[in-house]
Amino acid sequence: MTDILRVENLSVSFRGQSVVRNVSFAVRPGETVALVGESGSGKSVTALSCLRLLPSAGSNPKGRILLDGTDVLRATPEALRRLRGGVAGMVFQEPMTSLNPLHSIGRQVGEAIRLHQPLRGAALRGRIVELLERAGLPNPQERLDAFPHQLSGGQRQRVMIAAALANDPKLLIADEPTTALDVTIQAQILDLLDELKRRLNMAMLLITHDLSIVRAHADGVVVMRHGAVVEQGPAQTVLAAPHHDYTRMLLATEPRGRPEPVAPDAPRILEAEGVRVHFPIRRGLLRRQVGAVKAVDGVSLELRQGETLGLVGESGSGKTTLGLALLQLERADGVICFEGQPIQHLSRAALRPLRSRMQVVFQDPYGSLSPRMSVAEIVGEGLAVHEPQLGRAAREARVSAALEEVGLDPATAQRYPHEFSGGQRQRVAIARALVLQPRLLVLDEPTSALDVSVQAQVVDLLRALQARHRLAYLFISHDLRVVRAMAHRIMVLKGGMVVETGDADAVMRAPAADYTRALMRAAFPDGAPA
């Protein structure tokens, strides 16, 4: 059988620094090959090279890449246009940076179709809706005019998948395609890709840090470290009996342990009662309101000093909206008290003194850090706002201390975000929040974009910081393995409403609601967590 993709001795360097060295592998029609390894191992650079998507300035790929018989590294621009989207579709890791924020999702999926198919009008609209339905986006007919910022992280990823599948490609290159998805939708998307593989005899190059995905969905696996292949072969053989120490380390690494118990007399940091966030639905020429999306609908909770409340649920369940509402970053009805003070009706000026004590770490370390600011400027920006009386030396000392506390060398403070790995960028985001000495941290999917070994490091870091500073965490995540290692209590949301809440171990071992049981089965297919 002829290979749809063959990579031979691929080497890539940036400005003289080697990042990929002599990588070789092949993908046959109907086969899934997984590239695995930690952040910085060269997986994404290898995948981007397969469609010659690396920037021409600075990169210097060598070797040979044959895609559907065409030598990619020597292909003409016309041949590359045929390959990109027509022969091979690509799902990028970061949908918020890959989707155009100024264009609706319908227009962006439609663009991927029109580049290769002469569809217009109703036929084009029907194809867009079909692709979005196939990718699992709810109510796609009502979402065509939505912009990326109006969708959840998981929904944006589904739009990317729909665009990549627009022309029924022979090869799908999927760079962490389920990173932003909750466990149930993750299973649906992976099952969908498997079904498409069978129906279209489509091949897939899957870049992932989740070895459970490799075990369930990959035919072959290529393990990379420091830009080189350390082991490859049939997935079941490599995972059952790995030869290389690095592969064995990856298989053994996942977030473990439990947080320290909450003190019996710990004061309440955050209280909320009947919180509601409804977004209006407007239609027609005059944009009259015809309904409302009940993103959060009557949620009540409390959070004590040194405690972690894990907020779980599918994409679109209202987790992030609730977190933003509790911080008064989203308009909400109901009662919200921070350190005993009602804050839901405070003006921006009245809220400003409280902002330093309630901070947020966002899901996307790529999008939440300004690429134009150095790490020192990013971490120190909050100090300039909330503690303007600090002199330059004092501010630099606070920034250095915050970087050290999250495990970063203060000597790197003058570097920029693009010079760090994903895990290091998330540590910068944590340092930015920590430097203000907050009482409450809202952590919105802080480990979702990280490979498993880095996830474990960030979980250990967050638990150590909580124990040291008695921080209260609202921990938003779709990854129940991470929630198990972080949370004292769990609250399960569906459709903006609470379906179950309680002690983390009790909810994990014996969930009462059918919806919670479905989440647990998807996250722990081998049985209840230990």
Alpha-carbon 506 to chain mean position: 27
Same-domain pairing of 9 and 76:
yes
Residues 243, 110 share a domain = no
CA distance 445 to 35: 23
For residue 309, is it within any domain? no
In a shared domain, residues 185 and 129: no
Is residue 195 in a domain?
A: yes
Residue 122 counted as domain residue? yes
The confidence score (pLDDT) of residue 86 equals 86
> How many C-beta neighbours within 10 Å does residue 340 have?
10
3-class DSSP state of 158: helix
Strand pairing report for 220-225 and 203-207: unpaired
| DSSP letter for each residue of 254-277 | -----PPPPPTTPPEEEEEEEEEE
Cα–Cα distance for residue pair 114/251, rounded to 1 Å:
43
Determine which helix (DSSP H) or strand (DSSP E) holds 485, and give its type and residue range.
Answer: helix 480-486
Q: Do 180 and 237 reside in the same domain of the chain?
A: yes
Task: Write the DSSP string, 59-120.
Answer: B--EEEEEETTEEGGG--HHHHHHHBTTTEEEE-S-HHHHS-TTS-HHHHHHHHHHTTS---
User: CA–CA separation, 239 vs 250, rounded Å?
Assistant: 10
Q: Which residue has the tokens 């309630």?
A: 358
On whether both 209 and 175 belong to a single domain, the answer is: yes
The domain of 117 spans 103-168
Distance, in Å, from the CA atom of 509 to the CA atom of 529, rounded to the nearest integer, reads 7
Q: In the chain, how many domains are there?
A: 2
Residue 387 lies in a domain: no
The Cα 126–Cα 246 span in angstroms is 47
Q: Which of 168, 183, 214 finishes a domain?
A: 168
Within a domain: 153: yes
Q: Report the run of H or E that residue 236 belongs to, with start and end.
A: helix 235-240
Contact predicate 292/277, CB 8 Å: no
From 147, 168, 189, the end of a domain falls on: 168
Q: Indicate whether 81 and 183 sit together in one domain.
A: yes
Per-position pLDDT tens, the chain of length 530? 589 999 999 999 887 788 899 999 999 999 999 999 887 788 989 999 999 988 776 567 899 999 999 999 999 998 998 899 889 999 887 777 789 999 999 999 998 888 888 888 889 999 999 999 888 788 898 889 999 988 877 788 889 888 988 888 999 998 887 766 667 777 777 887 888 788 878 999 999 877 878 888 899 999 999 999 999 999 999 999 999 999 998 888 778 889 999 999 999 999 999 999 998 877 877 778 777 788 999 999 999 999 999 999 887 789 999 999 999 999 999 999 999 999 988 999 999 999 999 999 987 777 788 999 999 999 999 999 999 999 999 999 999 999 999 999 999 999 998 888 778 888 999 999 999 999 999 999 888 767 777 788 889 999 999 999 999 999 998 888 899 999 999 999 999 999 999 999 999 999 999 999 988 887 776 655 55
Sign of the C-alpha dihedral computed for residues 19, 22, 26 and 31 taken in this order = negative
Q: Cα torsion for 386, 406, 419, 425, to the nearest 10°?
A: -70
Query: Are residue 179 and residue 163 in the same domain, yes or no?
Result: no
14 and 136, same domain (yes or no)? no
Q: Within this chain, do residues 192 and 247 fall inside the same structural domain, yes or no? A: yes
At 382 the pLDDT is: 93
CA dist list (Å): 271 to 103, 123, 275, 312: 38, 51, 10, 18
**Structural domain contains residue 83:** yes
Cα–Cα distance measured from residue 94 to residue 157, given in angstroms and rounded to the nearest whole number: 8
Give the per-residue pLDDT at 527: 58
Strands 70-71 and 62-67: antiparallel
380 residue type, one letter: G
| Shared-domain flag, residues 163 and 187 | no
Res 187: pLDDT: 76
Q: Which pLDDT score, from 0 to 100, does residue 16 have?
A: 77
Distance CA 275, CA 335 (A): 7
Edge-to-edge, what's the strand order for the sheet holding 220-225?
88-91, 171-175, 203-207, 32-36, 220-225, 228-234
Of 207, 236, 252, which residue sits at a domain end? 252
pLDDT on residue 491: 97
Long-range (24+ apart) CB contacts under 8 A made by 325-333 are 325/275, 325/277, 325/296, 326/270, 326/272, 326/275, 326/442, 326/474, 327/358, 327/360, 327/442, 329/360, 330/277, 331/277, 332/275, 332/276, 332/277, 332/296, 333/274, 333/275, 333/276, 333/277, 333/278
The C-alpha atoms of residue 40 and residue 17 are separated, in whole angstroms, by 13
Residue closest to 69 by CA, chosen among 55, 56, 82: 82
Residue 191 maps to a domain: yes
Nearest Cα to Cα of residue 188 among 378, 59, 315: 315
Token digits of residue 96: 């918020």
Closest to 257 measured CA to CA, from 18, 506, 47, 529: 529
For residues 464-499, one letter each, b for 16 or more C-beta atoms within 10 angstroms of the residue's C-beta and e for the rest, the string is ebbeebbbbbbbbbbbbbbbbbbbbbbbbbbebebb
∠320-510-191 over CA atoms, to 5°?
60
Task: For residues 387 and 74, give the distance between their C-alpha atoms in angstroms, rounded to a whole number.
Answer: 56
Residue at 296 is within a domain? no
Whether 189 and 159 map to the same domain: the answer is no
Determine the length of the chain: 530
Same structural domain, 31 and 139: no
Instruction: Report the alpha-carbon distance of residue 423 to residue 410 in Å, rounded.
Output: 16
**Cα radius of gyration (the chain):** 24
Cβ neighbours of residue 191 under 8 Å, at least 6 residues apart?
Answer: none
Q: What is the CATH number of the domain that holds 36?
A: 3.40.50.300
